[in-house]
Structure 1
Amino acid sequence: MAGRLAIALASVAVLVLTGYAWNGITDLENNVTRLGGLSLGSGQDGAVDILMVGTDSRTDAQGNPLSPAEAAKLHAGDEVATNTDTILLIRIPNDGSSATAISIPRDSYVDVPGIGMSKINAAYGATKEARREALVESGTSPEQAQTESTAAGRKALIDTVAKLTGVQVDHYAEVGLVGFVLLTDAVGGVDVCLKNPVDEPLSGARFRAGRQVLDGAQALSFVRQRHDLPRGDLDRIVRQQVFMASLAQKVLSAGTLTNPGKLSDLEQAVSRSIVIDDNWDILKFVEQLKDLSGGKVKFATIPVTDEQGWSEDGQQSVVTVNPVAVQRFTSALLTKPAPGRLDRADYTVDVVNAGSVDGLATNVSNIATSRGFLRGTTGNASSPDATSAVMTSERNAAATDLARQMGGLPVQVDPSIPAGHLKLMLTDAYTGPGSITDTGAQPGSTDTAATPAGVTSTTTTTPPITASGSGPACVN
């Protein structure tokens, strides 16, 4: 059961991270189930912060039982729990310029109000059960006790996340398993990519290596698996993130947004699966995100100090975290480059392999993305007269910086290059990062290349996960 709660967040993430795609679907706001009585903020800390949790619910958002066919797809069994094994905090600056979905590992060892140090996934369930028992013992009806204890569990989780991250939670969303399946099927399946074949019976994950399209039931297994993965739950989080990015990309595609049937299916999936706070003005939120592009939608995980730590009593394996480092991380998401400072994230890099080295474009694209540029398209071209170069519509600091990052390539002006894009043309003569002669740091290791003054970049060569249109990243 440990993995089942993890996957539900994909559906609610799509509602938030592709919010502007729903512009014109005014019925959506009226059809989503609302929650009252939550103590939430109002974006006064510089960002709208949305807490999303998944539940192992056997009902839809309105409390209606699932059909036998829907229940069979979930493979969820009969046990019902309220541990929130997936917790996602989406941070959106008030200007709507970006969105970062931050995963919080379920085993993060944190201070839970009223409980003390505990795994964060117990904040909701343990608080709820303790409150329910106390209410029933005091004579409260079971129905009223269930309602009040559930509200107490939600508040405990909200307060715990706020204390850990240093943010004020402004909106709350909760989703059951069925929403994940419905949304995946509504868009006609979602692309994923695996580095290796998988056959893991506990989750039902049985997939070949490489890129493939999964339907809702298959995707459920893909994001549930944590056994037989090198980093266990942390690798599962990466799977969730790349799946959400791919699902968001699918929702934002022209084939979805211009298809009335798919839009109707998506609206029904959202209305059946998602519960949100009653102060959330979706139409206003949609307007805030109208200029948000897929490349500005990113996924991350809070920094951890030990993936294999132990609880204070030595009885539980936990993920240890430093709240100060976590708060520094969330705060940095609101920091914009100083005036005149180059932000690589403002430029999309397309890579063309004009030579004969297999995989060159993809490898170099990974490196450019890892150094802070947005991932663009990759492809091959037969250009005998081409030379390795950075191509740009006009000479600018970004082109010069990319040319330096790629080993000192020349910069060529090509007015046909779209604004905000840079094109890397690579031939067999290319010897920079990612080439067959390169023996330096590769994606996935620490970046030792110096970032020049006046440039904002990332600090690791692991390519960031975004909802840009370049296809799914291959994962464990």
Structure 2
Amino acid sequence: MTNPPNSYDAFPVPEDPHLRGERLPEVPTGGKTRGGRGPRRPRTRARRIIRWLVVVLVVALVATGGYAFYNYQRFVSGVSTVDAIDPNSGDDFDGTDQNILLVGDDHRPDGATAAQLAQLGTEADGGGTSTDSMMLLHIPADGSTATLISFPRDSWVDVPGHGKNKLNAAFALGGGNDDPAGGARLLISVIQNMTGLTIDHYVRVSLLGFYNIVDALGPIDVCLNQAVKDPYSTVDLPAGVSTLNAQQALAFVRQRHGLPGGDLDRQVRQQYFLSVEARKILSAGTLLNPFKLGAVLDAVSSSIETDSGLNFIDLATQMKGLNADNITTATIPILGTPTIYVNGRELSIVEVDTAAMPAFIDSMLGTPSAYEAAVPAAVGDVTVTVLNGGAANGSAAAATATFTSLGYLTGTPDSTSARAATTIEYPAGLEAAAKTVAVNLPGAAVVESADVAGVTVVLGGDGQMPAAAPTEAPVAPAPPVEEAPAGTSYAAGACIN
């Protein structure tokens, strides 16, 4: 029986004489030799194998690099950009901490049909450009962890140029319907004023974009403590683990009716879902499947709008050590959800605990690196002002007298809004002075703030007061024992309400 023409046996490889210890036959060369080293010898099978291994390796490397480059070019070409960030503010990915504002708005695609809206599960509510999901993603310089801070949409806040309003109205008040850049800039301004943080980058995604991303990623498993059913979001799920398609996932993160905490519980839903989604994106099943990865990248790129300065390669490089278990989530501190009256009409709001915000941000994001690196200044070069934010009457004056006796320059004592814990606040550039004051207030939170002009001690309800210190030059206090941030990390398989 003969082998077919396309069989490897149709092209036999001569047996290598080296393997039998035989002398290699000479090959006629017309009497010429190669540099006096004798006649040319036939290539061996081993050499051919090595050559092909090298070729295959090079081709694989080039193909992989080319595929990655192709995917990146395809990805960035689909992303929309907007001038949301002032070029003179924010930081590039140059080894510094990064703050990225993630915004999900409720607008429907132009010209959407009834069938498309039904697919999104949005028939029962009208929609609009209100930014109902707002999260700040903090990535430290080493990129090993990430922190997601949620901002309730009904937070009652100061909106520059528009007085008090709900946070989710800021984008529209900034002209977001017709001017996405103006809307983004006003929203960013409000968030920065609330937190004292600088927003470095901005990412916005719509309802349809969220749907497309989840659809490309594939089914997502979630776990509920109780069964839920809500006609507004169209969610209808039993208790326990459910596998969600894109429509169900959208309903899952949109539900707020029927939840004990309303919109606050929806914040938890969104934090939880992003953790689950991040785990799936970072899994081998997505990253090592070129077809699925390509579909996910296409869905993401066509669904998001970012500031023009966001460099995805730099972002990916800084986050290369991140995994889904290192993402911590939390919601800003609030005082309650009262009903107020505006122009004679009832309005349900979320009252933000602005006094607790500096300590909350410090606990979540850690002490700024500039403060860590600072060397305490001499006491006589430091001016400190004391404000009473909840201590006993006369405490600000008493603390000021103590600081004066220690050799500090002091400002006029005064009162301020109430807060639970004593804090030391300072503007950027006065890290050394703040570190000196911290020697006399061990344990107090030290927070960088744009709301103070100098080092300011705010006495809280904990009753902490400045203590006398040795007369010699102050030394840096021992670094505190690191504690886990006051947030939540969702383990695989975790269940929520």
Note if contact 1:23-1:283 (Cα within 8 Å) is conserved in structure 2: no
Which among 434, 453, 456 is matched to residue 482 of structure 2? 456
Paired residues of 1:101 and 1:298 also in contact (CA < 8 A): yes
Q: What are the Cα deviations for residues 178-236 of structure 1, in whole angstroms up to 9, with x where unaligned?
A: 12112212222111111111122222111111011101001111111111111111111
Q: Is the 8 A contact 2:105 2:207 kept in 1?
A: yes
For residue 99 of structure 2, the aligned residue among 29, 49, 58 is: 49
> What's the counterpart of residue 474 of structure 1?
495
Could you tell me which residue of structure 2 aligns to residue 301 of structure 1? Answer: 331
Please list the CA deviations of residues 316-350 of structure 1 after superposition, one character each: whole Å capped at 9, or x if unmatched.
22111122422332233332699xxxxxxxxxxxx
Which amino acid counterpart does residue 118 of structure 2 have in structure 1?
A
- Matched to 2:319, the amino acid is L
**Closer, same or farther: CA 201–37 of 1 in aligned 2, 3 Å:** closer
Question: Would the alpha carbon gap of residues 205 and 42 (structure 1) be closer, same or farther in structure 2, given more than 3 Å must change?
Answer: same
Q: Are the counterparts in 2 of residues 47 and 334 from structure 1 also a CA contact under 8 Å?
A: no
> Which residue number corresponds to residue 111 of structure 1?
158
Quick check: 1:104–1:301 contact (8 Å CA) kept in 2?
A: yes
RCO greater where, 1 or 2, for CA within 8 Å and sep 6 or more? 1
Letter matched to residue 300 of structure 1: A
Query: Are residues 43 and 324 of structure 1, via their aligned partners in 2, closer, same or farther at CA, if it must alter by over 3 Å?
Result: farther
Match in the other structure for 1:435: none
Tell me the amino acid that sits aligned with residue 457 of structure 1.
E
Partner residue in 1 for 2:108: 58
Query: In the aligned structure 2, how far is the partner of 1:181 from the partner of 1:33?
Result: 17
User: Aligned partners of 1:98 and 1:312: how far apart in 2?
Assistant: 42
**Shift in Å, 1:177:** 0.8
The one-letter code sitting in structure 1 at the alignment partner of 2:496 is V
Deviations 1:263-285 (A, max 9, x none): 01101111221011111111111
Distance change (3 Å), C-alpha of 1:150 and 1:284: closer
1:305 aligned counterpart, secondary structure: strand
Q: Does 1:190 align with 2:214?
A: no
User: How far apart are the structure 2 equivalents of 1:121 and 1:153?
Assistant: 11
Q: Shift of the alpha carbon at 1:37?
A: 5.5
Query: How far apart are the structure 1 equivalents of 2:291 and 2:100?
Result: 29
Q: 1:268 corresponds to which residue?
A: 298
Distance in 1 of aligned mates of 2:116 and 2:285: 26
Write the deviation string for residues 34-62 of structure 1: whole angstroms up to 9, x where unpaired: 11263263238952111121222333xxx
In 2, are the aligned partners of 1:300 and 1:465 still within 8 Å (CA)?
Answer: no
Secondary structure in 2 aligned to 1:160?
helix
Instruction: For 1:471, give the aligned amino acid.
Output: A
Residue 172 of structure 1 corresponds to 202
Alignment match, 2:363 = 332
Q: Matches of 2:118 and 2:144 in 1, distance apart?
A: 41
**1:323 aligned counterpart, secondary structure:** coil
**Pair 215,112 (structure 1): closer, same or farther in 2 beyond 3 Å:** same
1:34 aligns with 2:103: no
8 Å CA contact 2:80–2:304 kept in 1: the answer is yes
What residue number does 1:93 align with? 140
Deviations 1:390-442 (A, max 9, x none): xxxxxxxxxxxxxxxxxxxxxxxxxxxxxxxxxxxxxxxxxxxxxxxxxxxxx
Aligned equivalent of 1:155: 185
Whether the aligned pair in 1 keeps the contact of 2:84 and 2:202 (CA below 8 Å) is no
Find the partner of 1:72 among 96, 118, 122.
118
CA offset at residue 312 of structure 1?
Answer: 7.1
- The 5-angstrom pairing of residues 358-397 of structure 1 reads none
The letter for the 1-side match of 2:142 is D
Q: Where do residues 17-28 of structure 1 align in structure 2 (5 Å cutoff)?
A: 25-27=71-73, 28=75
Q: What is the one-letter code of the residue matched to 1:188?
A: G
CA apart distance, 1:67: 7.1
Unaligned runs of 5+ in 1: 1-21, 130-145, 339-452
User: Deviation of residue 163 (structure 1)?
Assistant: 0.2
Counterpart pick for 1:284 among 294, 306, 314 = 314
Out of 240, 244, 248, the position equivalent to 1:218 is 248
For each residue in 1:127-148, what CA deviation from the matched residue of structure 2 results, as whole angstroms up to 9, or x when unmatched? Answer: 328xxxxxxxxxxxxxxxx64x
Q: What CA distance in whole angstroms lies between the structure 1 residues aligned with 2:130 and 2:108?
A: 14
Q: Which moved more, 1:68-77 or 1:111-120?
A: 68-77
Shift of 1:75: 2.8
The CA distance in 1 between the partners of 2:105 and 2:68, in whole Å, is 28
Check whether the contact 1:49–1:168 (CA below 8 A) recurs between aligned residues.
yes
Distance 1:233 1:472, change over 3 A: farther
Aligned to 2:393: none
Residue pair 1:465, 1:473 contacting (<8 A) in 2 also: no
Distance 1:201 1:69, change over 3 A: closer
Structure 2 residue aligned with 1:415? none
Relative to structure 1, the CA distance from residue 454 to residue 331 in structure 2 (aligned partners, 3 Å threshold; closer, same or farther) is closer
Whole-Å Cα distance in 1 between the matches of residues 214 and 276 of structure 2?
10
The answer (yes or no) to whether the contact 2:211–2:250 under 8 Å persists in 1 is: yes
For 1:333 and 1:473, locate their aligned partners in 2 and report how far apart those are by CA, in whole Å.
22
Structure 2 counterpart of 1:233: 263
Name the SS of the counterpart of 1:199 in structure 2. Answer: strand
**Inter-partner Cα distance in structure 2 for 1:474 and 1:300:** 16
Identity of aligned residues (%): 38
Structure 1 residues 94 and 74: CA distance shift in structure 2, 3 A: same
Letter in 2 for 1:475: I
Q: Does 302-311 or 236-245 show the bigger shift?
A: 302-311
SS at match of 2:165: strand
Q: In structure 1, the residue corresponding to 2:317 is in which secondary structure?
A: helix
The correspondence of residues 137-156 of structure 1 with structure 2, limited to 5 A, is 147=178, 149-156=179-186
Tell me how large the CA RMSD over aligned residues is. 2.9
The one-letter code matched in structure 1 to 2:72 is: T
Query: 1:138 maps to what in 2?
Result: none
Aligned-partner Cα distance in 2 for 1:73–1:197: 22
Q: CA deviation at 1:114?
A: 0.6
Seen in structure 2, the aligned counterparts of structure 1 residues 36 and 458 have a Cα distance that, compared at 3 Å, is: closer
Distance 1:327 1:336, change over 3 A: closer
More moved, 164-173 vs 94-103: 94-103
- Counterparts of 1:459 and 1:184, CA distance in 2: 29
Counterpart AA for 1:91:
H
TM superposition shift of 1:156: 1.1
The correspondence for 1:310, drawn from 335, 340, 348, is: 340
Give the secondary structure class of the aligned counterpart of 1:174.
strand
Match of residue 11 from structure 1:
none
Structure 2: distance between partners of 1:294 and 1:126: 35
